Amino acid sequence: MNGKRLRRIALRAAGLVAVGLGFAVLLTGYATKTLDDDLLLTDRVRAEDVQRGEIHYLGTPPATDHAFLERVMALAGDRITCRAGRFTLNGKPVDGSCPRDVDVTVLPGQAFVEDRQGTATVDLAQLGERVVWHTGTDVETPPLPGKLTGAIVLLVLGPLLFFADGIAALVAAAASGRAGKAPIGAN
């Protein structure tokens, strides 16, 4: 096997591996949802990995006919209060507004959340889908997560590697075609 053929095989194999890895990340790491015409990208998360400030997608709960988002305000052991429409977490002011006065110490296995309906304490098991990216007009669209950006790079790089020898031949042909032409105005 000559060196050129071996290089072509290696580039094609690398291209296929890159595409496969890109799709593996997309298919195993994320789910897409829609909510009020916004596209959401969610990542599965274990209850013990839920953190304050995260937004979680809650599918259609049994008592409602509409899915919604919840922002995690406090976790087990935290004391969250609201007075005059402003929150404090463990005595320190935090962003958010509440429709009613609250004074809650969050129990183990639970989280205090804020959503369109107000505030509530929920089981951490309900918060299994963390929103990692979204479109929407009411808040700024965040940058794509690094893992997803890497997957997109692999999906673009894979075909380029797979067809590298063909792309190189096209570039060389285009360059040689221009090399034989006289510059405009050279007559």
pLDDT for 76:
94
| C-alpha dihedral, 69 to 74 to 79 to 82, nearest 10° | -30
pLDDT tens, 102-130? 899 999 999 999 887 778 888 988 888 88
User: What average pLDDT values come out for the chain (187 residues) when binned by 10 residues?
Assistant: 84 90 79 77 87 82 67 93 90 85 93 84 86 70 74 89 84 73 54
pLDDT for 140:
61
pLDDT for 110:
94
Q: What is the pTM of this model?
A: 0.65
